[in-house]
């Protein structure tokens, strides 16, 4: 999927259907005098239903269709005939989509399973026909209820990518290169910062036909939680990842310092990020000889509080060990 086709934020306005009016019909038939009321009920208005679809990866289909309406309920008729229900309007969204009220910014619901449904706006109830109102003192009611109008609501849909492992790092540290090396994904790769402008997903094939999903988001810089760079907009895509893979290049001025900056940005954005399991991949390790690697290992053992590995996506160094470590972390109790 090209970057321009990835849409993870959209606002829509939805209107459910009006309920149908009840009927005030009086029964008329040959040889039957004063047949009495027999007006039927109106049908309910159509619902606006949000439905999860595992085959969707973006909200692109809603980008140019912002106003959606459900069908109106039919009116009641004679012989206690109920009007038809209005046609429901289904809005299919990718898994990981969060629904918010656009006016209050309050989270209403989250779609996380395929086929999961949520009624975002209920259709109006149909009015009751006049046969409901007959009594011993009012045997010929000539009135019925009108249907209830549908509901209008403005919704904000935000997609938070569902992945097992999220890649976290500065721009141009090799996140996209790693994704391309161990998955079938083909992200844009170039030797300049902010090459990645949209999240990319890839499926990592593991042993015995097992697999897990990896997500690459645009690079994070210091101050991203306040909106610097472009990382702030996409930080929500790693909120659902169970494991975070921090990627720091071997030639960084301070690997531990860069890790602290990244962790601090995640904490400022959402403190719950610190509850996720974490591991560090030292990228571009093909530049290190054995002596430099030994010195760096001694230094990192003192400074880093979490596990780390040396990898090189270009030479495939350490990628098998990385997949083993990630699979173990994903399956720990």
Q: Is 101 annotated as a binding residue?
A: no
**Contact (Cβ atoms closer than 8 angstroms) between residue 116 and residue 50:** no
Q: Is 216 annotated as a binding residue?
A: yes
Q: Classify burial at 293, counting beta carbons within 10 Å of its beta carbon; exposed 0-12, middle 13-18, buried 19 or more.
A: middle
Separation of alpha carbons 167 and 285, rounded Å? 17
- Considering the chain, tell me which residue range(s) the CATH 3.40.50.300 domain(s) occupy: 165-331
- Considering the chain, tell me which residue range(s) the CATH 2.70.210.12 domain(s) occupy: 9-159
Separation of alpha carbons 132 and 221, rounded Å? 67
Secondary-structure percent of the chain, ordered helix, strand, coil, rounded to 5: 25, 25, 50
Greater model confidence, 54 or 187: 54
Separation of alpha carbons 287 and 66, rounded Å? 51
Q: Is 98 annotated as a binding residue?
A: no
**Residue 149 CA to its chain's centroid (Å):** 30
Q: Is 176 annotated as a binding residue?
A: yes
Q: Is 196 annotated as a binding residue?
A: yes
Q: Is 284 annotated as a binding residue?
A: yes
Region 50-59: what's the mean pLDDT?
Answer: 88
Q: Is 331 annotated as a binding residue?
A: no
Residue 303 half-sphere exposure, CB side, CA atoms within 13 Å?
Answer: 14
The percentage of the chain sitting over the pLDDT mark of 90, rounded to a whole number, equals 41
Residue 302: CB partners within 8 Å, gap ≥ 6? Answer: none
Q: Is 188 annotated as a binding residue?
A: no
Separation of alpha carbons 177 and 79, rounded Å? 71
Region 297-323: what's the mean pLDDT?
Answer: 91
The pLDDT tens digits for 131-148 are: 889 888 888 898 899 999
pLDDT at 246: 93
Q: Is 149 annotated as a binding residue?
A: no
Instruction: Read off the pLDDT band of 306 (50, 70, 90).
Output: very high
The pLDDT tens digits for 96-117 are: 899 999 999 899 999 989 999 9
Region 50-65: what's the mean pLDDT?
Answer: 88
Architecture of domain 9-159: Distorted Sandwich (2.70)
Q: Is 10 annotated as a binding residue?
A: no
Q: Is 314 annotated as a binding residue?
A: yes
Q: Is 285 annotated as a binding residue?
A: yes
The pLDDT tens digits for 215-270 are: 887 767 555 444 454 545 567 777 778 899 999 998 888 999 999 988 888 888 88
Q: Hey, what CATH topology would domain 165-331 get?
A: Rossmann fold (3.40.50)
Q: Is 175 annotated as a binding residue?
A: yes
Backbone angles phi, psi at 262, to 5 degrees: -65, -45
Q: Is 195 annotated as a binding residue?
A: yes
Q: Classify burial at 15, counting beta carbons within 10 Å of its beta carbon; exposed 0-12, middle 13-18, buried 19 or more.
A: buried
């Amino acid at each position: 999927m090209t970057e321009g086709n990835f849409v993870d934020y959209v606002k829509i306005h939805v209107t459910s259907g009006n309920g149908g009016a009840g009927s005030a019909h009086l029964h008329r038939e040959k040889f039957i005098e004063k047949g009495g009321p027999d007006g039927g009920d109106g049908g309910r208005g159509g619902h606006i239903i949000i439905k999860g679809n595992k085959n969707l990866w973006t909200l692109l289909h809603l980008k140019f269709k912002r106003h959606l309406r459900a069908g109106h309920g039919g009116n009641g008729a004679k012989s206690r005939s109920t009007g038809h229900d209005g046609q429901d309007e289904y809005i299919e969204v990718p898994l990981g989509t969060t629904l918010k009220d656009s006016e209050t910014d309050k989270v209403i619901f989250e779609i996380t399973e395929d086929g999961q449904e949520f009624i975002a706006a209920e259709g109006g109830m149909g009015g009751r026909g006049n046969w409901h109102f007959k009594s011993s003192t009012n045997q010929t009611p000539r009135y019925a209820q009108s249907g209830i109008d549908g509901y209008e609501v403005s919704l904000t849909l935000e997609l938070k990518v569902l992945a097992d492992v999220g890649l976290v790092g500065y721009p141009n540290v090799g996140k996209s290169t790693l994704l391309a090396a161990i998955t079938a994904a083909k992200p844009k790769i170039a030797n300049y910062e902010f090459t990645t402008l949209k999240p990319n997903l890839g499926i990592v094939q593991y042993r015995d036909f097992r697999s897990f999903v990896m997500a690459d988001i645009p690079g994070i810089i210091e101050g991203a939680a306040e909106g610097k760079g472009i990382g702030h907009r996409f930080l929500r895509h790693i909120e659902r990842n169970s494991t975070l893979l921090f990627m720091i290049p071997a030639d960084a001025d301070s690997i531990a310092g860069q890790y602290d900056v990244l962790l601090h940005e995640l904490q400022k954005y959402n403190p719950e990020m610190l509850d996720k399991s974490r591991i560090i991949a030292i990228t571009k390790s093909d530049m290190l000889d054995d002596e430099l690697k030994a010195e760096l290992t001694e230094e990192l053992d003192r400074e880093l509080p979490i596990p780390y590995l040396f990898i090189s996506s270009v030479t495939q160094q350490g990628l098998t060990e990385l997949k083993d470590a990630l699979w173990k972390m994903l399956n720990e109790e």
